[in-house]
Amino acid sequence: MTKSKEVPVAAGFSALGLDERVLKTLTGLGYEEPTAVQEATIPPLLAGRDVLGQAATGTGKTAAFALPLIHLITPNAVPRERTTGLVLVPTRELAMQVAEAIHKYGRDLGVSVMPVYGGAPMESQIRSLKRGVDIVVATPGRALDHINRKTLHLGHLKMAVLDEADEMLDMGFAEDLEAILKATPELRQTALFSATLPSRIQAIARTHLRDPIVVTIDRSVSPEVEAARVRQVAYIVPRPHKIAALGRVLDVEQPTSAIVFCRTRGDVDALTEALGAHGQRAEALHGGLSQDQRDRVMKKFRAKKTDLLVATDVAARGLDVKHVSHVINFDVPADAEAYVHRIGRTGRAGREGVAITFAEPREHRLLRNIERATKQKIEISEVPTIADLKAKRLELTRASVRDAVLSGGLDMYRKVVESLAAELDVMDIAAAAIKLVENRRGEDEPEEIPLASRVSVGAIARPVRGARVSTEKNPRPTDGSKRPRGVPKPAWEPVRLFIGGGRKAKIRPGDLVGAITGELGIDSSNIGAIAISDRFSTVEVPSDIADTVIAALGAATIKGKKLLVRRDRA
């Protein structure tokens, strides 16, 4: 593989050798200077070289391969039933986005493009392919289906592009990609783009690319990303309080449009339902939805008829919605790359954006890892209090009142104020009016969300000083008056919890202490006597947080297993 040389900054796209009609289109679209990946990639692709590009979302790589692909196609000289360009992408949404971009760039050359993906009617796709398409943008599964049906002919293919190749491999498309590439001409030109270059990607490059130019673009050099202004903040919240904390943050932040990322489909559905129950306009987006459902969701989100889009990473690949004001990580992303992909969806085109992450107390290390990898500071903040929420609501009311005054039309109300002003102070009248507005919200008084103590990950794995432990072989059930010998009675009112695992499950006292302090962020002084038997354990906690502890431990894993947790019935 040949390493690319440093490419000097070009005086616009005209220096890259593109067709004049393409340049005219780019000028009409307001494009002035190529991004780093476009500058490094377009010339070798125009020269017929294969390219292996490492570039993340937001660096401008779609145009980097789309413009040369359009330039190399001469529609009038090629039979219309032949496909001369193939772009493979991981998701339906990305297929539609790339196809739209190619159509926009190639309109003055008469280039035809078609997105092909699963979930759409096969018959209509077959009819369009039979009529003739210059460029097909497809997901691997549906592309291979058409190849096997002999409805997608690749015998005259000039260029194949693999976009987001690492995502396609992660989604299990490795065999499909191999089969598709084997169905293409041996002398085709190939471009492979990936956010990362693991060994699997390099193996594909060695097999299917011919002496490629290797282009590596740091996301930070993208002008769009440089212009982005994203405030990054994390809230440390015990798991049982994350939904409440999300609602509180949404109330205070008042996002115009937000994407909330979850790890699994189940998490997406559960959180969407919970947000809807709290009056939020939220829609779910994940791989379990039909294509029609996904299209409806995205149409509503783009039209701003939905405030919140709750999505998985895979389902959100390729989304390009400029008006997103907030990106919210309901769970800490698994790695820094996923974090960068997520937060790159806000702060677009110089707009201000906010990236919010909810982390459990034991996930501090993950946040620090992301900071080191991105070389960016994540502000650790406390969940807004009830006082913060009330202050925000008053500020919104103040703004509404100001707008009402400026818009006029108050004559019919002045008489009421004038009659009251005869006996009362005008300031008191205005304050009373504001109070009535606030009281008519009809909302229940919110509960304060407990602050999570910042427990380091290393401390969680160790027994914590202050916990009183009994390891009798078969511990006798105890209550507040009959306690194991040597264990003092705590100052708070204890409740004993039953945990369905003991020595045979290799559970130690430190595991229980670590789980409770890690999940809830409480101090170890709030943990009483711990008794470990062969098949079960008991632990004492303050009565006022017993139900919270049960919920947290029931949702967590101890020694890699979910265990029964309830109040001890002894």
Which region holds residue 13: left if phi is over 0, alpha if psi is between -120 and 50, else beta? alpha
Cβ(245)–Cβ(449) under 8 Å? yes
- Edge-to-edge strand list for the sheet holding 468-470: 468-470, 529-532, 537-542, 494-499, 565-567
Rounded CA separation 20/14 (Å):
8
CA distances from 44 to 41, 69, 219 (A): 6, 12, 21
Instruction: Label residue 568 by pLDDT band (50, 70, 90).
Output: confident
Sequence-separated (6 or more) residues with CB below 8 Å from residue 115: 92, 95, 96, 98, 99, 137, 138
Total residues found in the chain within this entry: 570
More reliable by pLDDT, 148 or 481: 148
pLDDT tens-place string over residues 148-203 = 999 999 988 999 999 989 888 878 888 999 999 999 999 899 999 988 888 888 89
Q: Set out the domains of the chain in order of their start, with CATH numbers.
A: 2-220 (3.40.50.300), 228-385 (3.40.50.300), 387-439 (no CATH), 457-567 (3.30.70.330)
Triad 380, 449, 447: Cα angle to 5°? 150
**From the CB of residue 87, how many other CB atoms can be counted at a distance below 10 Å?**
27
Per DSSP, the three-state class of 485 is: coil
Gap between the terminal Cα atoms of the chain: 71
Cβ(12)–Cβ(67) under 8 Å? no
Q: Does the pLDDT of residue 479 top 80, yes or no?
A: no
Which amino acid appears at position 568 of this protein?
D
Rounded CA separation 435/105 (Å):
56
Instruction: Give the per-residue pLDDT at 520.
Output: 72
Q: Count of H helices and E strands in the chain?
A: 21, 20
- Mean pLDDT value of segment 410-431: 83
Instruction: Give the per-residue pLDDT at 6.
Output: 39
Helix axis angle, 411-421 to 426-439, nearest 10°: 120
Instruction: Give the per-residue pLDDT at 312.
Output: 85
Which amino acid appears at position 71 of this protein?
H
pLDDT tens-place string over residues 337-368 = 778 878 877 876 556 789 999 998 877 777 88
**From the CB of residue 354, how many other CB atoms can be counted at a distance below 10 Å?**
21
Sequence-separated (6 or more) residues with CB below 8 Å from residue 401: 434
Rounded CA separation 156/164 (Å):
24
